[in-house]
Structure 1
């Protein structure tokens, strides 16, 4: 096997994963669109009367003396959609607990943009409808349809969409929180006190379920159903039961003790296969992943490919007869919906993002400039699912409901076309970052791990993998480069774990970051390079213990959201630059082509020094007091003693 074959499997695996995500988004969006079209065709066909007749079919639910009558339409909107909101709640809980929203600096831009994307559309809608009597229906225009949004992004397929997709997902989570709050506060049916007290009792019971030794799943299901009934009786929309249950379900990263327990039981089963070990190993394996993540994985296909298409079929049957279209053409309700979703979302999200950057309240990830944000903001005007849902709650008149639905459908089509146009024009006028030719993210001595003097005039950046043998050899080359240039060069290391061929590379990268939080990044990195065939979890902990690290802190940091994001940032940078192999070097900001032996690297750095002398400039990376690879402050006694180099 050639080195090229070895080193390209990791990025290829990442690209396959990205394509799989995009394919799933496209399928979900296509199915939602298909059922929307079926509903519209059905409602406008010669058999259109059967559409309403079918969804008005009564369903009777009886439990003892409790007797509930629902239509099929209400069963979908009030019952099945509770599962959709349950999934939304799981995602919200995860993002705020261990996801992107745990990092305030990372979350600031999409969170502020999402809030603006809620407020601006509502204001525009109200301006259109001040005299129409429908101004209270502003909730129709505040929410973006996440499934259609991600599906549209996958269909348009801008290059390297990973960071934009993450930005839009974060935005969508905050957007969903706002929409759910609006439903609970502004679109309830009048509050009944006694059932509301029962809701409080059930919420306390749900919060205590996590302490049960067993049977937590059935307990959540039973109490969740009781909460649905109590909310229904209290006058609050019962679908919010799904959100409430989800927010009370714990979420956590896999704990080392749980993973080790799984390994012990699997080993015992392998040595002595029996039903007891099999049952215990299965239970331990399941419990090592939080119930939040298990439910998201298991339920997402059912929500995406069953619940949402059924919802579209039950709610998108707008009669597009000449009379309705003529009324919609001059209706402030219809135009308020269109303007709120298309114009309001675009101005709110793109404008807020620009202002946040302008005033330094947050920063966008590398490669995620305003043209990309503008395209995502345009697509955010696709407000399908929750918009149609709120129409039922906010507007009583059926004719007015149809006018609002026409607005939602028109806005969704316009937003998709506008987003496509923005991406096409932006990529033509200002193409995405030149692929691989230039370092996409300049060196930041506050963030990057480096060896050498922080303000050295020469810089060499390596994207590497602790399990890659070529990276290990390149480390020796770097030693000679630093010996040659002395204080005039700094070496910066960034992560590019090639997980397909190097299954331990990602965890090794996280271990190095965890050690870096205790000032020992380079020490652990060298230990892992010296033992590349022994990088299992136990090995990483052994090396950390040998270095005298605080093991409790190391174990907690290893799988912490901040460490995971830190490695993922480097990986996404590498994807944006289309890096295919490790090690990959950048001399200054330019990608190094050819061998990485010390003589070649020294020659490349000499040419870079000559180039800098010719133009009379030096790299500007916003140098402030910072820490080098072992965590020491440059110029401190520890560095003078030689520890950082």
Structure 2
């Protein structure tokens, strides 16, 4: 029963991630084609188009690109926060032993690419780009791994997801500490106080979506004005969402039976258009009951997955992947090469080497069904660093479109090479394994 409760939702998450990866790839290709077509100006004008609201003495009008990168992506970071809280409390990171292997693998996957980038880079102008090569894109990486079908064990996918989440945590911390400027600490204090109030409210009373969304918008504006990237507010807000259910399944079942019995006693009148007062009361109790039995965190996570996978991330990819290549465009080819090499070589070297050393020193154990040869293949796939890498590139080179475009080209090249090499390695390993079985 426990296995079914855990594995089935995780398999659904993997399927969502795989399809999301395909959609991300499609929107990326579309953006690249459009940005390099005779209609490139339409693409640029669309992203520059200002949208906003104004009333009395308040006005906020920003480009469509701003609302995508700073607004929609805050929801994406909110989901990351929800996943992180779940993993820390009841998931794959809830004990030191469970977290040790993906944590050490993720540590190698962060330190090695950054070290390689810093070693290769000799220009002060491109030095801020070191954070670009840190994160692994979960959706793209799972799409590559899922292309192997049943040849890739489920435990391998769990391992990939776990260390990719840890990578994202590191990226969030890096954004907060190194890519935030001109900080207004008073705004941050007000935002943190509201977050604390919201957490206390949910703990003492119960989760209320309406109050939560109103305060979330206020907190987002406070972080926007503070100088710390507003997407960080999304992560912090996620930790206020309760994971505990108000009632257990037994209580739910007993109450459900009582409500059902009361409804069944009501006269059956097929012609009746409206419910009686008592019937309305029973239905309202049923709605309240179903709300009480669900974990707010689980419900929000479930509701947001499809929105983010099939809308927010594809929109982000479409808005940020439109790099002009050729046709007189200027690129910093050294930066392109440094990012591509750091993503591919750094991730592959860091994840596999740190994993191997930790197992040999008996600090960790390989997950069930996972061999070190699998880890080597996964370490290559870890170089697929699309979403978070592009996001950090926009922050690192905020006022330099040449370096931003160069970074995006390097990210795409490094990610494509990593995905192809990782898939090929795991496929070859499976072919060799099958031939050995046949020979026996």
Partner of 1:516: none
Mapped pair 1:309 → 2:314: yes
| Alignment map for 1:128-143 (pairs within 5 Å) | 128-131=120-123, 133-143=125-135
User: 1:427 is paired with a residue of what secondary structure?
Assistant: helix
Tell me how far apart the structure 2 counterparts of residues 183 and 392 of structure 1 sit (CA, whole Å): 11
| Aligned equivalent of 1:47 | 39
Q: Does 1:88 align with 2:77?
A: no
Q: Does 1:293 align with 2:298?
A: yes
SS at match of 2:248: helix
Matches within 5 A, 1:51-130: 51-62=43-54, 64-130=56-122
Q: In structure 1, which of residues 314, 334, 354 is the aligned counterpart of residue 356 of structure 2? A: 354
What are the within-5 Å matches in structure 2 for residues 336-415 of structure 1? Answer: 336-395=338-397, 396-415=399-418
In structure 2, stretches of 5+ residues that fail to align are 264-278
Report the alpha carbon displacement of residue 130 of structure 1 after superposing the two structures with TM. Answer: 2.4
Q: CA deviation at 1:13?
A: 12
- Residue-by-residue CA offset, 1:26-64 (whole Å, 9 max, x unaligned): 321111111111111110000111211110111122355
Q: Which residue of the partner structure matches residue 259 of structure 1?
A: 249
Shift in CA distance, 64/345, structure 1 to aligned 2, threshold 3 Å: farther
- CA deviations on 1:443-470 (whole Å, 9 max, x unpaired) are xxxxxxxxxxxxxxxxxxxxxxxxxxxx
1:430 Cα deviation after fit: 4.3
2:26 to 28, 34, 46: 34
Residues 1:170 and 1:292: Cα distance change in structure 2 (over 3 Å): same
What is the Cα deviation at residue 316 of structure 1?
0.3
Moved more, 68-77 or 242-251: 242-251
Q: C-alpha separation between the residues in 1 aligned to 2:55 and 2:292?
A: 33
State the aligned residue count. Answer: 421
Q: Contact 1:137 / 1:394 at 8 angstroms: preserved in 2? A: yes
Pair 1:195-2:170 in alignment: no
Pick closer, same or farther for the CA change 1:74–1:232 going to 2, 3 Å.
same
Q: Is the 8 A contact 1:128 1:332 kept in 2?
A: no
Whether contact under 8 Å (2:394, 2:404) holds in the other structure is yes
TM-score under structure 1 length normalisation: 0.62
2:275 match: none
Task: Kindly provide the CA deviation profile for residues 272-328 of structure 1, in whole angstroms up to 9, marking residues without a partner as x.
Answer: 122223222322222222111000111100100000010011000001115448x45
Structure 1 Cα separation of the partners of residues 37 and 214 of structure 2: 42
CA-CA distance at 1:212 after TM superposition: 5.3
Shift of 1:17: 7.9
Give the deviation of 1:332 after TM superposition.
2.1
Gaps of 5+ in 1: 1-10, 438-645
Structure 1 CA distance for aligned equivalents of residues 139 and 380 of structure 2: 15
The 1-side partners of 2:368 and 2:233 are apart by 39
Alpha-carbon distance in 2 for matches of 1:107, 1:61: 45
Q: Please name the residue that 2:159 is paired with.
A: 167
- Pick aligned residue for 1:24 from 16, 20, 26: 16
Any conservation in 1 of the 2:207–2:296 contact (CA below 8 Å)?
no
- Aligned-residue offset at 1:223: 1.2
Judged with a 3 Å threshold, the aligned counterparts in structure 2 of structure 1 residues 434 and 298 are, in CA distance, closer, same or farther, namely farther
- Do the aligned residues in 1 keep the contact of 2:243 with 2:298 (CA within 8 Å)? yes
Offset from partner CA, 1:316-361 (integer Å, 9 cap, x none): 0001115448x45xx2211111111111111111111000001000
Q: Where in structure 2 are the equivalents of 1:237-256 lying within 5 Å? A: 237-252=229-244
The answer (yes or no) to whether the contact 1:27–1:151 under 8 Å persists in 2 is yes
TM-score (norm 2): 0.90
Q: Is the 8 A contact 1:106 1:363 kept in 2?
A: no
Distance 2:77 2:27 in 1: 20
Deviations 1:463-500 (A, max 9, x none): xxxxxxxxxxxxxxxxxxxxxxxxxxxxxxxxxxxxxx
- Please list the CA deviations of residues 192-250 of structure 1 after superposition, one character each: whole Å capped at 9, or x if unmatched: 12212212221211211213545621121111111100001111101111111102212
Task: State whether structure 2 residue 238 is matched by structure 1 residue 236.
Answer: no
Partner of 1:178 in structure 2? 170
Give the greater-gyration-radius structure (CA): 1
* Counterpart position of 1:417: 420
- Assess if the C-alpha contact under 8 Å between 1:220 and 1:245 holds in 2: no
Structure with the higher helix share, 1 or 2: 2
Shift in alpha-carbon separation, 1:12–1:246, aligned structure 2, 3 A = closer
| Whole-Å separation in 2 of the counterparts to 1:277 and 1:142 | 53
> Contact 2:69–2:316 at 8 Å: present in 1 too?
yes
Tell me the SS of whatever aligns to 2:351: helix
